[in-house]
Amino acid sequence: MRLPSILPFSFSLTLFLTLTLASANTLNITVINTHNNHSTLECWALECWALEPGFQSSTQAGTSGTQALNLGPIGSNASYTVLPAGFDGGRHNAPAKQWVIFLTGLAHITLPNTTTTSSSSSSKTEAWITGGKHGAILTLDTPDVSTWGHITKYPSDQETVALQIPLKEGEVPGHVVLYEGGCVGEEVDG
């Protein structure tokens, strides 16, 4: 049986990102943002006070006792996307301000409006996102705020599965910008 590439569905409940971190204070994520009409990569810390009520112990059946963070208001429709191995998403803008949560696979994001000459500048113009625990990003570079958007390729030899979840009315969660460039290594644990 062949799965369709996009399965739309509706969220009627608050979305929770459940983490196994017992003492997490922030959720650090890579964000595709904009500055002067160009897409940028940034590492953001989403602070507990910004996402009310912040990390707390879940009481929901099946996750009771784990740490959960409410991701804020989301739009009414979301997509479950299956991308084939080696897929090239090309240059594009985010269709909406949205969470993209890579469940499996690998995404390589680059910025088309930049050139890289050193490894330090490369870290500011590209991000590697591995599906799973550290697979959540925010994409905010919609056509109205970014001329060139970004490029996404999926270089894995396996399918990449992602959830695309629009933010309600484009509401961006409260945050602190940690630095220019995508989050790397263990810092995505917060």
Distance CA 175, CA 80 (A): 26
User: Do residues 186 and 36 touch, judged by C-beta distance below 8 A?
Assistant: no
Number of domains in the chain: 1
| Tens of each residue's pLDDT in the chain, 190 residues | 343 433 333 332 233 343 333 345 678 899 999 999 999 999 998 764 455 556 788 888 889 899 887 777 788 789 999 999 999 999 999 999 999 999 999 999 999 976 554 444 567 899 999 999 899 999 999 999 999 999 999 999 999 999 999 999 888 888 888 899 999 876 665 5
List the domain range (segments joined by +) for residue 74: 6-184
Beta carbons of 1 and 77 less than 8 angstroms apart: no
Query: 163: domain CATH number?
Result: 2.60.120.10
Cβ contact 112:150 at 8 Å? yes
Which amino acid is present at 36?
N
In a domain, 189, yes or no: no
Is 50 contained in some domain?
yes
Q: Does residue 59 sit within a domain?
A: yes
Instruction: Kindly give, in sequence order, each residue whose CB lies less than 8 Å from that of residue 167, ignoring residues fewer than 6 positions away.
Output: 72, 73, 74, 75, 96, 97, 98, 99, 173
In a domain, 69, yes or no: yes
Confirm whether 83 is domain-assigned. yes
Task: Note whether residue 190 is domain-resident.
Answer: no
Judge whether 93 and 37 are in contact, CB under 8 Å. no
* pTM of the shown model: 0.78
Residue identified by tokens 């994001």 is: 109
Residue 33 dihedral angles phi and psi, to the nearest 5° = -110, -165
SS (HEC) of 42-62: EEEEEECCCCCCCCEECCCCC
Q: Which residue has tokens 């003492």?
A: 23
Inside any domain, residue 117:
yes
